Amino acid sequence: MSTRDRQALLPGATLGVMGGGQLGRMFVHAAQALGYSTAVLDADPHSPAGLVSHHHVQKAYLDAEGLQQLAAVAQAITTEFENVPAEALRTLAQSRPVAPSGDAVAICQDRAAEKAHITASGVPCAPFALIDSEASLARVSDTLLPGILKTARMGYDGKGQVRIQSRAELAEAWAGLGRVPCVLEQRLALHRELSVIVARGVDGQWVHFPVQQNLHREGILAVTEVPAPDVDPALAAQAVAHAGAIAQSMHYVGVLCVEFFVVKAADGRLSLVANEMAPRPHNSGHYTIDACDVSQFELQVRAMAQLPLVAPRLHSPTVMLNLLGDLWWRDGVERTPAWDAVLALPGAHLHLYGKTSARPGRKMGHLTLTGADAASVRAVALQAASLLGLPAW
């Protein structure tokens, strides 16, 4: 079904989501707040989104019966996870509007296709080479070393990535990754990490949130600050324009996050390169629930339901802390973090995702701090980090 042939779905309809994790849970909350019923397809009977949805189809993503059940109950469907099979989305699109499309998600699932699309959109990315054979391995230019070898598919949050210094390490790393298709990226002089979240409608209209400044630890997002404290307005505007160009050239419908590196040249000049994109709401945008008048999840609902996309407004400076399962463990003993002390802080907004077990590296929730000015919010965020045993930044 062409998205251009559909009419707006008003509250009272049922919206479906592929995937039952925390992003699906926050989508479900946003849809329900607007008056929609919701349906989740996820095989896990205890999935965070499935536990709070009106309907939970407990089937695998490619299960034909499960896809039929979701299409029977939902009038439009989205995804909460970039690794939901694109083929499943294409199957659903035969009978229901799906946003983003399976073709758009497929681009984001393959690093080589993703980089080709980013480049075709006129946006720079890190120099790279595709490695999918011994011959392509031998052809790799020395200019790409040192670099980062990344699996072309199924890598996220630092998974499937190996830092390499030499050709010998490259060959060893590729073998260690199972000789699957990989992308080798030149390692750049990273100065900052940014992200931009845009929402684009069927009619091509798009809106965006402010540029987000991010800090990662071990490949996983740790801290997001908005407004971005160390980003020149001209560079921020360029990042927004790049993200919009990528979405427009893909004819994207839905919420899209583009991550950027700020690279510092030898002469001190700063420039942007696109790192990767996510065809869904993003961890770095969770603060929008508490610090904006329209969240990234509400815009996800609006885009798929073909409702007006209003430009979101940041009403409070904010810092978001990612809460991983490590916080629940100290000296090998499981414990409950000091939420009472954290919630005594001004402007503290705690979001836990309803996951049944805490494991190191597992995203269990996030904490958003808001306030009247950026300096006071940062000070309170550092207090929260200290109470939780998180490092300062």
169 has binding-site annotation: no
363 has binding-site annotation: no
Six-digit token string for 284: 């770095």
What beta strand segments (E) does 99-252 contain? Answer: 128-131, 147-151, 161-164, 182-186, 190-200, 206-208, 212-217, 220-226
Find residue 126's DSSP bridge partners: none
155 has binding-site annotation: yes
Q: How far is CA 294 from CA 57, 313, 330, in A?
A: 29, 7, 37
3-state helix, strand, coil in the chain (%, to 5): 35, 30, 40
111 has binding-site annotation: yes
161 has binding-site annotation: yes
Six-digit token string for 56: 């939970």
Give the C-alpha separation, 47 to 54, whole Å. 13
159 has binding-site annotation: yes
157 has binding-site annotation: yes
82 has binding-site annotation: no
193 has binding-site annotation: yes
Give the C-alpha separation, 171 to 150, whole Å. 13
55 has binding-site annotation: no
275 has binding-site annotation: yes
User: Residue 389 corresponds to which amino acid?
Assistant: G
Give the C-alpha separation, 143 to 390, whole Å. 37
365 has binding-site annotation: no
Residue identified by tokens 């045993």 is: 389
Q: How far is CA 165 from CA 172, 176, 184, 207, 275, in A?
A: 11, 15, 12, 41, 20
287 has binding-site annotation: no
134 has binding-site annotation: no
User: Residue 115 corresponds to which amino acid?
Assistant: K
Distance of CA 317 to the CA centre of its chain: 21
276 has binding-site annotation: yes
Binding residues: 111, 150, 155-161, 185-188, 193, 216, 275-276
Binding residues for ATP: 111, 150, 155-161, 185-188, 193, 216, 275-276
